Chains A and B, each alone.
Chain A
């Protein structure tokens, strides 16, 4: 596959550039870690004294948070498209993208990747192992494979939603606050959905399926069999949302107006 070799060329270039600005990279990793620590402290404080919330223990909550970090970090590394409208539509950078023989979305992924965010994968794994150990969870030989599948599914859910939002830019380049709002909504996916009311639960499952990034897949590892159907739907939902988003993107590209210089 040509795209894979292009991908590695970009990664090589990225690392080269980053290594010349080593200080920046360290600051970035550090601020990422700090951000994750704050989130973890938040969970500990909120759920610290309740021990049990809608049938979920504190350690299970921490485990879900740890799992969530993995697909989220992968998403954050490769789909930095929250400023797509500004950067590519309003400033007309899309012109340049469209004169090159590689799918436009793929090019933007390559140009905007932030590999430092992948550090969150490590944090996530550490948090999961810590919580899993406390919960006495056992790991079978096939679990790592299922984990990878569920993580990919979760990352695709995130990617799908944010790509779909970015495509709005092709139709209207007016400024909206929808992106930051969606980041906030995304955070709800890392708490068990049964602590919310029915409507929110429905939305987080089928409309903005952020629950497939945290709770649902985690419930497989937590041996919560009542959620298994949802857990295994994760890759399917991820794929469906991602494909819908890419289709929207492809239609959007034909509506691109350019910046009139």
Chain B
């Protein structure tokens, strides 16, 4: 299949000037200014195929927004090659942006003072969308996002969740084959999040829309994306299936025992000495957590030994969450490949 996005050696540096102190410093600033170079995106390469939904993740300041701004033609790269939808985004900007949709969760794309449908009408004109196509497509979008009742309200009177759904609809007026979403679910409640996820899934299935999204909410990624690209300090540290990331990192399982009687570390270690187990005390004196290898014989062996010797009130097997995996990766700073 063809590549919708092809990025090679992409780099963005920001020069920031600092001023010297004092009068003498100010005078020297007139001639030579001190500056530091911040490399926000550092030599990244990746490709995205048609119809993919890719999660673009990383800590604050990792360079996600900067990459997206280069991919959408807003910023000019310092170095590297970008081909998106067969075009160079910032060179053929006006022609290019007709083929993409963009949503920035932190910033409104709509006109503040006018009613939502007036915004839509202006955008329809700007994108030169034929009436018939607009009617057909937008009717569906408005229905799915459930924004019909909001259409005659000015944007400034909408709640964040309402606005966000309108923003999404606005980004889709020209039914673009490629959608960039920068933190589309920031600050939204669970119900709105679910609605938005459902909607994205739907347009991906229905129109084969390719979607690249950044988020700090990993459940978004789990719900939508098979593939993640992980960024750290401007570099890609992982690019692959979410599943693989989980498998390679979530090697262990945790078994949480709640005992009805007091237990000691020595006692528990003695009980499970034939397995490799790390015992840790849980929230109370009666709760103990055993970290073990994710292997059936070990898990059932440990449970069998412990329950045979001691009375328990409750038992849980905990999976390590994606959240935790990602946190571990950030801490270690690189990804082990399995």
Residues of A within 8 A of B (CB): 2, 5-6, 9-10, 13, 16-17, 92, 94-96, 98-103, 111, 254-258, 260-261
Contact = CB atoms under 8 A, between A and B. Distances in A.
Contact of A257 (B14, B102, B104, B111): B14
Contacts of B122: 9-10, 13
Given A13-B118, A17-B114, A258-B69, A95 B74 contact: yes
B328 interface: no
A102 B94 CA distance: 6
B72 interface: yes
Interface residues of B, number: 32
A2 B102 contact: no
A99 B75 contact: no
Contacts of A16: 118
Contacts of B114: 13, 17
Nearest to A107: B126
Contacts of B65: 260-261
Contacts of B109: 96, 99
B98 A101 contact: yes
B305 interface: no
B97 A258 contact: no
Contacts of B73: 98-99
Contacts of A5: 125
A100 B126 contact: yes
B118 A254 contact: no
B227 interface: no
A254 B73 CA distance: 9
B75 A258 contact: yes
Contacts, number: 65
A5 B101 CA distance: 22
Nearest to A2: B128
Contact of A6 (B14, B66, B75, B125): B125
Contacts of A254: 76, 90
A18 B56 CA distance: 42
Given A254-B90, A256-B75, A260-B14, 11 more contacts: A5-B125, A9-B121, A9-B122, A13-B114, A16-B118, A17-B113, A95-B107, A96-B108, A99-B100, A99-B102, A257-B75
Contacts of A257: 14, 75
B106 A261 contact: yes
Interface in B46-82: 65-66, 69, 72-76
Contacts of A9: 121-122, 125
Nearest to B119: A13
B95 interface: yes
Contacts of B111: 111
A111 B95 CA distance: 21
Nearest to A257: B14
Contacts of A255: 76
Interface of B: 14, 65-66, 69, 72-76, 90, 93-95, 97-98, 100, 102, 104, 106-109, 111, 113-114, 118, 121-122, 125-128
Contacts of B118: 13, 16
A28 to B, nearest CB: 15
A113 to B, nearest CB: 13
Nearest to A21: B113
A99 B97 contact: yes
A2 B107 CA distance: 28
A254 B111 CA distance: 24
A103 B94 contact: yes
Contact of B74 (A2, A98, A101, A103): A98
Nearest to B123: A100
A2 B98 CA distance: 14
Contacts of B106: 261
B26 to A, nearest CB: 13
Nearest to A7: B125
Nearest to A91: B107
Nearest to B154: A17
Instruction: Output the residue of A2, A13, A94, A111 with the most chain B CB within 10 A.
Output: A13
A13 B114 CA distance: 9
B33 to A, nearest CB: 11
A16 B113 CA distance: 12
Nearest to B101: A99
Contacts of B97: 98-101
Contacts of A101: 94-95, 97-98, 126-127
A61 B301 CA distance: 103
Contact of A102 (B14, B104, B107, B126): B126
Contact of A95 (B69, B94, B95, B126): B69
A80 to B, nearest CB: 15
B110 to A, nearest CB: 9
A21 B143 CA distance: 32
A13 B69 CA distance: 29
Contacts of B104: 95
B126 A99 contact: no
B39 to A, nearest CB: 14
A56 to B, nearest CB: 42
Contacts of B93: 98
A95 B104 CA distance: 9
A25 to B, nearest CB: 14
B126 A256 contact: no
16 contacts: A16-B118, A96-B107, A96-B109, A98-B72, A98-B74, A99-B73, A99-B109, A100-B127, A111-B111, A254-B90, A255-B76, A256-B76, A257-B75, A258-B69, A260-B14, A261-B65
